[in-house]
Amino acid sequence: MKARRTNSRDRILAAAADVARVTGPGSLSLDAVASRAGVSKGGLLYNFPTKAKLLQALVQDYLHEFEAALETTAEGGTSGESLLAAYIRLSAKDCEDTQPSASWIFSAIAEDPDFMTPIKTFKRQLFERLKGETPDLKALLICFLAIEGLRSMNLFDADVLSADERRLVVSSLLEIAG
């Protein structure tokens, strides 16, 4: 979602996400991340003293970037569409990636299952905000669960839908969202 990272902390976070996507989440090592980021291991450890701190920052950074993109896209942002429509579009765009943008999450969960807590909190807060801005709870539930299903299939590399079928789902969800 973020176009370009400039400081060493951001370069390290981008490198960690890249290493997890390219080599698999289980292969995330501090040496590989430092090498990919172009920093010394000491430089990496200065920013993130432990692998757990790196993964925690990666989770927080991902959630922050998604929220910022949502704000930019939703009403008051560049497109002026509803928050629900913006959520559907951004999530669907994430699902178009052949390698999920958040595949590194498996590394975080393997390291510490508590890394799911901020994700659950974020999703619950987002859902509550969507409830406050979407007049039809039934439509919201259908859209939210369907897009989360698409995201899960993508994340677990279990997508059984063709590109046309995914587009049909997304266009139907946008229609339901109004």
Domain boundaries, the chain: 53-177
**Full-model pTM:** 0.79
Q: pLDDT band at residue 81, thresholds of 50, 70 and 90?
A: confident
CA distance 42 to 79: 43
Taking residues 120-147, report their average pLDDT: 95
pLDDT for residue 144: 97
Please give the distance of CA 3 from its chain centroid, rounded to a whole number: 14
Q: In this structure, how many other beta carbons lie within 10 angstroms of the beta carbon of residue 156?
A: 11
Query: What are residue 81's phi and psi, to 5 degrees?
Result: -85, 170
Of the given ranges (18-22, 79-83, 109-113), which has the lowest mean pLDDT?
A: 109-113
CATH 1.10.357.10 fits 53-177, yes or no: yes
